[in-house]
Amino acid sequence: MEPVAHTGRAAVVSDYYEDAEGKTGPELKKALHGIISAGVTPVSYDKVWDALATTDADPDHPGNVTLLYTGRSQPASEHGGGSGQWNREHVWAKSHGDFGTATGPGTDLHHLRPADVTVNSVRGNKDFDNGGDPVDGAEGNYSDGDSFEPRDQVKGDVARMILYMAVRWEGQDGFPDLEPNDKVDNGSAPAIGRLSVLKAWSQEDQPDKAEKDRNEAIYGIQGNRNPFIDHPEWVESIWS
């Protein structure tokens, strides 16, 4: 699919956030919700495969995608449900709020990532927290019975994806109001933890070029941006 061209990025981005100017805390969250909910062209779950081939393309290996937890570069065509293939990881686990794969939070590209099938099933619907045993075949990732810790390179990415979802999905259109909390074992509640850990990860792993490029690619396809990639300081303003 052809991404929409957004030329003059800096000018476009400052206009994009005009309604958020000067705001903090709940007012900022409310303004950002309005901004990132406007002009969205939702993608169907079937179209997510193609979209991820673009948004998560490995710039060094044409035709490949980079997998979230393993960091492995793999042909975009090798997706499916088999061992060694990649599939569509919902970073905000879809059972947390039980929103499924209807066009909505379950197809929101900002939190969907290519992931190794086996590692994706280890993550399952666990909350995020530090600690656990090393995950087989995914160096730098750890997991125990109730939580998952991604590798350092994507800790901030994971945090900003979760916090984007909290701002984007506020209980409209028949979908649940998603919010972070400081717990693990959230089960099917529309919540993901732990907020204190996600905030620390967002600080430690600031947005790099790949994460910014991905935001830009999604803006081209889906029509909205992750504000925390453009303005990481807004994490602390909203969740102080």
Looking at the Cβ atoms of 14 and 147, the one nearer to Ca ion is 147
The residue whose Cβ lies closest to Ca ion is 147
> What values do phi and psi take at 145, rounded to 5?
-65, -25
Q: Is 68 exposed, middle or buried (0-12, 13-18, 19+ CB in 10 A)?
A: buried
Q: Smallest distance from the beta carbon of 224 to Ca ion, in angstroms?
A: 15
- The Cα–Cα gap between 78 and 65 comes to 10
Going by C-alpha positions, the residue among 239, 112, 210 that lies closest to residue 229 is 210
Question: Between 170 and 220, whose beta carbon lies closer to Ca ion?
Answer: 170
* Residue 177 near Ca ion by CB under 5 A: yes
Nearer to Ca ion by C-beta: 73 or 85? 73
Does residue 213 interact with Ca ion by CB under 5 A?
no
Instruction: Tell me if 166 contacts Ca ion by CB under 5 A.
Output: yes
Binder of Ca ion out of 56, 108, 116, 205 (CB under 5 A):
205
144 binds Ca ion (CB under 5 A): yes
In terms of CB distance, is 46 or 133 closer to Ca ion? 133
Structure tokens at 53: 């081939």
Q: Which two tokens stand for residue 64?
A: 């490949």
Rounded Cα distance between 205 and 154, Å, is 7
Determine if 108 is a binding residue for Ca ion (CB under 5 A).
no
